[in-house]
Amino acid sequence: MLFLLFQLDADRYALDARQVAEVLPLVALKALPRMPPWVAGTFSYHGKPVPVIDLTSLALGRPSHRRLGTRMVLMHYPEPGTHSHLLGIIVEKATNTVRRDEADFAACGIDSENARYLGPVANDARGLIQWVRIKDLLPAPVRAMLFPVPLEA
């Protein structure tokens, strides 16, 4: 499998590249009032609004540094069944990929109720890489705010 690597401070993380729609430079966002601070805003992608979260803010409590390697990764955020939504994720140092077998990843031994998106880990010469599971990224109340069910006509 191909993974997009990024960092949260000195630690390395991976996103399943099959879920990546596109990697973009940072763009201007429209703020979304009354959202959690890690919901960075929304922007127009091919004429459609896409919500954006700042993964560094979610995980570490501080906004991502605005540097050359900071990117917005458009992900296919899965919904039950076969439907998905586009979700922008701001991550730092998202400049490399790596091929790893899914079996290379093992449970990290810690289950955090507040960070269910942190999945298993793999080891290489530079240390651990933790898999970020997109399907577990948004708590249910935030998911409902960002992707409301449309009213039937």
Contact residues for 54 (Cβ-Cβ < 8 A; gap 6+): 38, 39, 40, 63, 64, 90
How many beta carbons lie within 10 A of that of residue 116, not counting itself? 14
Share of the chain above pLDDT 70, in %: 95
What are the pLDDT digits (tens) for 6-22?
999 999 999 999 999 99
What are the pLDDT digits (tens) for 46-88?
999 999 999 999 999 999 999 988 999 999 998 876 688 999 9
Domain edges within the chain: 2-145
What's the CATH superfamily of 2-145? CheA-289, Domain 4 (2.40.50.180)
> pTM here?
0.90
What are the pLDDT digits (tens) for 83-132?
889 999 999 999 899 999 999 999 877 767 778 899 999 998 899 999 99
Contact yes or no for 58/40 (Cβ under 8 A): no
Look up residue 129 and give its two tokens: 């890489």
Contact residues for 94 (Cβ-Cβ < 8 A; gap 6+): 4, 5, 6, 23, 69, 70, 71, 73
